[in-house]
Amino acid sequence: MQVAWWLLWGCLWLLSIMEAQTATFKLALIGPWSCDPVFSRAMPSAAANLALSRLRSDTSLSRGYWYDVKLLSEDCSTSKALTELGEMEGYGHAFIGPFNPSLCHAASLLAQHWEAGLASPGCLDANWPNLPPITPPSRVLFSVLRFFRWAHVGVISAPSNLWQSTGQEVASALRAMGLPVGPAVTMETRSEAGAREALREIREADKVKVVIMCMSSVLIGGEDQRELLLAALDMGMVSDGYVFIPYDALLYAMPYQDTVFPQLSNNTQLRHAYSSVLTVTMASDQNFYEAFRQAQVNREIRSPIAATEVSPFFGTIFNMVYFVAKAVEERRQAGGGHWVVGDQLVQSDGGFEFQGFNQVLYGGKEGRGLQARYVVLGSDGDRLVPTHTLAPTHTDRAVGGLKPLSHSFSFPGGKPPSASFCWFSPEEACSGGVDTVTMFFIFLLFCAGIGAFYYCIRKYKRAAGVTKLVLTLDDVVFIDTQVSRKKLNDESIMRSLLDIKTPLRSAARSYILTTPESSNIAMLEGDWVWMKKIPGGQSMTAINQNTQRLFSQLRDMRQENLNSYLGLFFDSRIFALVVEHCPRGSLADLLADTDIRLDWMFKSSLLMDLIKGMKYLHLRCLSHGRLKSTNCLVDGRFVLKIADYGLPMILHSQSLSLSDDPQELLWTAPELLRNPVRGGSFAGDVFSFSIIVQEVISRTPPYAMMDMPAHEIVERLKQPPPLCRPVVSVDESPTECFTLMNECWNEDPNKRPNFDDIFKQFRGINRGKRANIIDSMLRMLEQYSSNLEDLIRERTDELEVERNKTEKLIGQLLPKSVAQALKKGKPVQPEHYSDATLYFSDIVGFTTISALSEPIEVVDLLNDLYTMFDAIISSHDVYKVETIGDAYMVASGVPNRNGTRHAAEVSNMSLDILHSIGAFKIKHMPEIKVKIRIGLHSGPVVAGVVGLTMPRYCLFGDTVTTASHMEASGLPYRIHISLKTMKVLTGLELGYHFDTRKSKVKDTEDTYWLIGRDGFNKPLPVPPDLTGGATGHGICLDEIPAARRQKFLDRQKLNKK
């Protein structure tokens, strides 16, 4: 039996040994691998595998761990990358990355929540609780700028979202160190124009002579930097002494030993421009390209790719993987060989060095993280030569300095001037020639002046007294926000539709002023404020001193969750409290908005804000007395702020009162409702809080589930039993919150908890985990981003539909070319057309038809007729010029020239119109036929737009007059054409048929009737017989029905009288 037990223990011991030997430490490598040449050509998988291969053969590491690297992609868009970052939990015990500085804060919080390590050379702040201080590029950059005494710098970023975010973070990091960073601009486009515009902003900035370029280096294939440097050379900025520093080189070791760059060899202008570039990069013991080729020779890298096609960021990835493994080993040995959790890496004491990909790297002592030597490179033709070196200890608190080497940097336009007065860091001041002692006394004198000025201001305010609290119409301006917003929106829409590129007026000028009686929003010193108007103010004569002293005390109460009082308004018989304006309205408005999705963490955040605000009020021995969801306001950051605190005291001081609307009493405690004197209490505020909790949990008004009018609910609250309380489902909130709500609306005021107890209990509901709140905010931001994208897409589609409608309408009123010119604000010059054919027609006897009809019937007749004409002309190459009364004018060859086809197009259209008119019926007089006369003429015309208001496209010239005459001298159901039009048609040889109409006037040319065309088989109406003295310009009375004829004759007799 004993032998069996020994065998069992032996097996268990062997299993534990095997488990320890096969323990795997997972690394997740996060990077924007498809966003930029720096990263896309870095071969991250090969770099990580090479590091793992060399780790296995490193004798300084124990055999207790295996390392596994998971490659994760970081989106090029910062917002999308942030969303993806929140989904990476569980991919590794430690994370290398992200390399977008904008993601570092969120990544640090997430890693802390996941209990994982985090290390990234791209982050610019080394003070996160779980982020080892790996060489922040901003600190290296700061050391270089400090050495050259360059305080004023500018930042230019490439147009991609990744580099734009990096540029903003670099500017912020340098400002945090005390540098007066100038403009941080982004190239609008990847072109010379985008580079010039960015450089123009830098050149216009005061004192800026140093430019940090946040983009991939031209030496490793960066086209943006190439355009920027060539534009700087062309604009004379190279010769003017500007210095350019590439930021991306700080992230890797740029090859410089015996390296010739073909980008500089093959381009003389770029080589000249690059002479103004100061490259700061990691120092290396071996050229990167040589180290890569050596790894290929040793078959450590299987890819046959040329080393010059690989980004030097390959080495950085290798170094980071190796450094994390060394840090894990250090922590493991310090912990007695136990398993190392990822978040323990920040506790690494360092003190080790190791061979990186092509340089020696150091693990800084006392947890200072990874340290590397840096070198400053200047250009020498098509090569880079080192001019200064920076020791690894530059990451220490005492910022290190540069040491010059034998080769000096030659500034093409002269060295930029040092700053005359600046602070470079908390440790040392840069005075530009003024010694430290003198500057210290200047600083003391400055502080004394500030103190004296502050004392005088305080003394003036005290001398002014409390009357400064009272505001009048001289201090505030009332605005109509709805009209103001509509005006801005209308201007924006019209500007978008017409593509007008003139700047919109400033928003401040677009506010619509209004009277105090019609608005509750005003402008106070440039900020929006809300006017809480008090009923009964019309009877007031003044604000008494007691009210002013009381309000002064309320105004001095400052807490994040209180909506601050700003003043008392009394003017124009209006008494109001001036408070901060919260753009998202009240909590009741937020809960009623179904478009806003609220999860429990967001609801609990709002309730926690309410608890904090009420806890502060009760700590100051002030009960609210009127707490409800309508005076809990939400600002633009979704922070809840309590309003109307102290209002009962102000009303009592001014001998005013508010009417007790039953709807407003639903939040009031039962014991206060029974009291004939309306007041407040601490326990009453707790009851009001419980009703608000019910609103937040169920997102319904108070007591909404009871389906009773407000006055009945108030009566039942006053006179229990039974107790009248809202009904809330347990499933809608955590059980602890449901229990707390029931405790707060206890009928016995003494059994209700105070807000200190409520605060402790509510904090326990979420178990005090702030990380959960961060997760909720990230999810909420993602939801809002998605909702906003959908809303923008919907509004864009609506705008596109309206734009198309507008363009279609404009196209129906004016020719397309003319409409485009007018939309762009360009003048439309008159244009001469040498060949065109014009069409005129009118209705025979239109005056008689009008006299026999009502006005509305005439309008219907013309609309039906010309709608038919419009449908016909759409199948011909013609342009409808205008309609005036019963006249219809069409042209071909204008505005679109069509050679000699203009006469044929108009003639074919005329035949189709004449065919259709034969079957046309007047709705109200079907027995009367509509007869038209048509006249055509060909010749030159001049076309142009007349007028600015209701512009019209008009034709001018003798051709217009002649065509109109052809119509006027024509006959019903006839197409009257001129000799010139007949010749054009004959020349086309399309088989048009004519009848000659001999001229009765001597020395005038004959005209013709167009009666058909070969292949045109549609029946045409028969022209009326005009023999016997009949006229072609009217309707005979015989054609009019007897009833309408009598009506017509009676109207004529009446007109004669």
The percentage of residues in the chain with a pLDDT greater than 90, rounded to a whole number, is 35
Question: pLDDT, tens digit, for every residue of 475-507?
Answer: 888 887 665 444 444 444 344 434 433 333 344
Handedness of CA 403, 407, 408, 413 (dihedral sign): negative
Strand partners, 891: 838, 879
Closest-CA residue to 182 (of 144, 155, 215): 155
Q: 586: which DSSP letter?
A: B
Structure tokens at 1048: 């017509």
- Position 1056 pLDDT exceeds 80: no
Q: Read off the tokens for 773.
A: 């709140």
Report how far residue 355's alpha carbon sits from residue 996's, in angstroms, rounded to the nearest whole number. Answer: 106
SS3 of residue 817 by DSSP:
helix
Q: Looking at 582-664, which runs of residues are DSSP E strands? A: 632-634, 640-642
Distance CA 84, CA 29 (A): 14
Q: What is the pLDDT of residue 417?
A: 62
The tokens for 976 are 């009257």
pLDDT at 433: 42
Question: Please, are residues 590 and 596 in contact by the beta-carbon 8 Å criterion?
Answer: yes
Tens-place pLDDT, residues 175-227: 888 788 888 999 988 888 899 999 999 998 888 889 999 999 999 988 999 99
- Residue type at 130 in one-letter notation: N
Only one residue has tokens 């050229």, namely: 287
- When pLDDT is averaged across residues 693-705 and rounded to a whole number, the result is 91
| Side chain identity at residue 922, one-letter code | I
What does the pLDDT read at residue 55?
85
Residue 546 in tokens: 């007691």
Task: Give residue 467's pLDDT band: very low, low, confident or very high (50, 70, 90).
Answer: very low
pLDDT, one tens digit per residue, over 839-881 is 999 999 888 888 888 889 999 999 999 999 999 998 999 999 9
Q: What does the pLDDT read at residue 14?
A: 45
Is 271 in a helix, a strand, or coil? helix
pLDDT confidence band for 561 (50 / 70 / 90): very high
Q: Looking at residue 351, what is its pLDDT? A: 66
| The pairing of beta strand 153-157 with beta strand 23-31 | unpaired
HSE, CB side, 13 Å, CA atoms: give it for residue 535.
4
Sign of the dihedral defined by the CA atoms of residues 285, 287, 292, 296, in that order: negative
pLDDT number for residue 505: 36
DSSP for 351-406 reads -EEEE-SSSEEEEEGGGTEEE--EEEEEEETTEEEEEEEE-GGGGSSS---EEE-S
Please name every residue paired with 1012 in a beta bridge, in sequence order, or none if there are none.
993
Q: pLDDT for 1000-1028, tens place per residue?
A: 655 578 899 999 999 999 999 988 876 54
Q: Name the nearest CA neighbour of 375 among 257, 215, 289, 275.
A: 257
Most distant pair of Cα atoms in the chain: their distance:
147
Whole-prediction pTM: 0.44
Confidence band (pLDDT; 50, 70, 90) for 423? very low
Is residue 429's pLDDT more than 90?
A: no
Please give the full DSSP string across 964-986, using - where no structure is assigned: HHHHHT--TTEEEE-HHHHHHHH
Q: Is the pLDDT of residue 716 over 50?
A: yes
Lowest mean pLDDT among 307-321, 375-389, 426-440, 883-897: 426-440
Contacting residues for 950 by C-beta, under 8 A, at least 6 apart: none
CA pair distance 141, 425, nearest whole angstrom: 13
* Strand, helix or coil for residue 853: coil
Question: How confident is the prediction for the chain on average, in pLDDT?
Answer: 82
Q: Does residue 722 have a cis peptide bond before it, meaning omega lies within 30 degrees of 0?
A: yes
Query: According to the model, what pLDDT value does residue 998 have?
Result: 75
Q: pLDDT at position 837, please? A: 96
Residues sharing a CB contact under 8 Å with residue 456, sequence separation 6 or more, in sequence order: none
746-750 long-range Cβ contacts below 8 angstroms, 24+ apart: 747/670, 747/720, 747/723, 749/669, 749/671, 749/681, 749/683, 749/684, 749/687, 750/683
Q: Using 50, 70 and 90 to split pLDDT, how confident is the model at 888? A: very high
- What is the per-residue pLDDT for 473? 86
**How far, in Å, CA of 342 to CA of 67, rounded?**
13
Residue 139: the pLDDT is 86
Given a cut of 70, whether residue 344 has pLDDT beyond it is no
Per-residue pLDDT at 182: 85
Note the pLDDT of residue 903.
Answer: 94
Most confident of the ranges 26-30, 781-785, 1045-1049: 26-30
Phi, then psi, of 569 in degrees rounded to 5: -100, 130
The most confident of the ranges 437-441, 554-558, 804-808 is 554-558
Residue 976 pLDDT more than 90?
Answer: yes
pLDDT at 645 over 90: yes
Which two three-digit tokens encode residue 124?
């610019």
For residue 13, is pLDDT > 60? no
Tokens at residue 612, please? 């904090």
